[in-house]
């Protein structure tokens, strides 16, 4: 996020100007958690998505669909954290 970018409600992002921190987004705000204060077993999710599409229009549609599904999965995961 150092170069900017969007944060989705329910998302979990690595941030930190003075060391590694994570931000857990709620529906209208977020919580910043320093790495040394994360609970046992709690870690930032790593998701790699590889997409092959025939053209740019198909890619944009796929990108939106993946974004919605990923945000929903992260929200579900974070409710249990």
pLDDT tens per residue across span 5-21: 777 777 777 777 767 78
Chain centroid, CA 3 distance in Å: 15
* Residue 32 clears pLDDT 60, i.e. is over it: yes
CA atoms within 13 A on the CB side of 39: 4
In a domain, 37, yes or no: yes
40 — pLDDT class (breaks 50, 70, 90): low
Give me the chain's average pLDDT, please: 75
* Residue 66 clears pLDDT 70, i.e. is over it: yes
In a domain, 4, yes or no: no
What's phi and psi for 33, nearest 5 deg? -120, 115
In a domain, 3, yes or no: no
pLDDT at 37: 76
| Count of the separate structural domains present in the chain | 1
Percent of the chain past pLDDT 70, that is, above it, reads 75
In a domain, 74, yes or no: yes
Chain centroid, CA 33 distance in Å: 14
């Amino acid at each position: 996020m150092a170069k900017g970018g969007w944060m989705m409600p329910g998302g979990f992002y690595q941030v930190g100007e003075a060391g590694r921190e994570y931000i857990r987004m709620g529906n209208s705000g977020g919580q910043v958690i320093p790495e040394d204060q994360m609970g046992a077993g709690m870690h930032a999710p790593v998701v790699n998505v590889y997409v092959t599409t025939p053209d740019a229009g198909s890619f944009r549609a796929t990108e939106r669909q993946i974004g919605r599904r990923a945000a929903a999965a992260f929200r579900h995961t974070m409710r249990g954290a």
